[in-house]
Structure 1
């Protein structure tokens, strides 16, 4: 559906699955494994996989903390978008990458649920994309020491509200990793 004309493609977006970002994340290994399976399935179907990699003062570009986790390796020719803000579209070339691939629907995975995932799904939606959040393939670190709810509750809340997101000409959805179908 989306608001784009002459675009009807889907892309898998892998956001910030980096050593420092997911090092202590809730159910890290399970989430990374699900993302790995989604990446394999997307590639097999010919669906573009787009990687997003965050850097800032605390996570310098090129550092070990900044690197994508060793279990996930961007494939030859797969774009890796560098970002400095929560929304993966803000001051990046993500829109150009997606436009060149004819993408109007994003399947979103990664970290952190309560920061870059939330910013990116909203950013994509307001820019006209259909957005599917993979409900069991995003995670975050524990921020309860600063008053945040437990991570499992943050994930559940994000999944709950996103399935009811709406806007003219756009669709939002939440599906489990096993239910994602890539058709090229």
Structure 2
């Protein structure tokens, strides 16, 4: 089973302005911790010779992830290196109107280890789409991040998705949820 690490939308302004000042600092710190775990997994994947695929959201004019702006750029800690691939998207689904599926099929990849931002949007949509396309998924339990919603804290959203997606399947393809420390390449 060929495996790839897929990191979604870990961009400079992904959480910019998503909370009031005191709460924003907590969100930013939690994102920094998440990014460090993803960076560590990136190193392990590269060392083991696995594909690293970075998804970058191309926001429209005026959006916090407006294409070409500093906020749009990938965080320096997970920036592409060597043979890493960057795939650009314009919707929550990393497969929608992108060449992601073609790239995975071309390289015989059947298993995706997925983390990134935003949990309830891009991560959830991509994970569900990938399993429905026949990929086995390992969702990094502590490797995805989001902001608070009106009714739920970011940690409640993350915990809900980890619980909901664990064991989710489409035919033989399955989603498994594991903390970064338990993921090997």
Query: Given the two structures, how large is their TM-score scaled by the length of structure 2?
Result: 0.89
Tell me the CA shift for residue 140 of structure 1.
0.4
For structure 2, the 5+ residue unaligned runs are 17-23
Which residue of the other structure, out of 124, 127, 131, is the alignment partner of 1:121?
127
**What runs of 5+ residues in structure 1 fail to find an aligned partner?**
1-7
How far residue 141 of structure 1 moved from its aligned partner, in angstroms, is: 1.5
The CA deviation string for residues 119-157 of structure 1, in whole angstroms up to 9 with x for no partner, is: 10011011111111000000001222xxx3111000000
Aligned pair count?
172
1:92 aligns with 2:98: yes
Contact 2:141 2:177 in 1 (8 A): yes
Q: More deviation in 148-157 or 30-39?
A: 148-157
Query: Where do residues 1-150 of structure 1 align in structure 2 (5 Å cutoff)?
Result: 8-23=1-16, 24=24, 25=27, 27-57=30-60, 58=63, 59-144=65-150, 148-150=151-153
Contact in 1 for aligned 2:132/2:173 (Cα 8 Å): no
Instruction: State the distance in 2 between where 1:94 and 1:82 align.
Output: 9
**Contact kept? 1:13, 1:49, Cα under 8 Å:** yes
Correspondent of 2:164 among 161, 164, 169:
161
Instruction: Describe the superposition over 1:76-110 as per-residue Cα deviations: whole angstroms up to 9, x where unpaired.
Output: 22110000010100000101111122101100010
Pairwise CA RMSD of aligned residues? Answer: 1.2
Report the Cα distance in structure 2 between the residues aligned to 1:28 and 1:167, rounded to whole angstroms.
30
The whole-number CA distance in structure 2 between the counterparts of 1:76 and 1:43 is 9
List 4+ stretches of structure 1 deviating above 2 A.
22-26
